[in-house]
Amino acid sequence: MRDILIRPPLRLELIWRENEVWRIYLGWSGEAGEGESVRESPFAKVAEEFFLAYLRGEGPVPRHLPLAWHRVQGFGNKVLTTLYNRVGPGEWISYSRLAELSGSPGSARAVGRVMSGNPWPLLIPCHRVLRRDRSLGGFSSGLETKRYLLRLEGIDPPRA
């Protein structure tokens, strides 16, 4: 089952398995053939409330959406959990600092790999992870999307 929430300029697609968010796809709305939002899960209303509040700049923490945490093991789980619990709206953290807080100093590149494979972008805010010099690094939904999300939260990273 899936929920597709379209609120220009963004589109959020949540893939559900056994009443847990299995995967999220985040992108720009307005793609060819895109129609109305689709709400199939029992959590669609909660997801939509989070998404709308986020776009209004309220940045609530989505604690009421059950994520399939069991699919991320070991180091990846530790990094995503640390990010989820420690970095709130309007804040950013470097890859190297996140590695330190996750108990693996010197593992900034490994943190970058975890971020690139984050199954729940926006809910687990990997867009808030930047290079130490505040440049963007990467983002699975594209650098323009990352820049947009950061600006929405009041963070103005350099363009380069």
pLDDT score at 157? 78
- First-to-last CA distance in the chain? 39
Q: Kindly state whether residues 12 and 79 are assigned to the same domain.
A: no
Q: Is residue 13 part of a domain?
A: yes
Percent of the chain past pLDDT 70, that is, above it, reads 94
- Shared domain for 51 and 80, answered yes or no, is no
Structural tokens at position 32: 């060819």
At 63 the pLDDT is: 73
109 is catalytic: no
Same domain? For 78 and 110 the reply is yes
Catalytic one among 126, 129, 130, 150? 126
- In the predicted model, is pLDDT for residue 32 greater than 60? no
Residue 95 and residue 127 share a domain: yes
Is-contact 22 15, C-beta < 8 A?
Answer: yes
The answer as to whether 60 is a domain residue is no
pTM, two decimal places: 0.92
- Per the domain annotation, does 79 fall within a domain? yes
Q: For residues 147 and 79, state if they share a domain.
A: yes
CA distance 25 to 34: 14
Position 158 in a domain: no
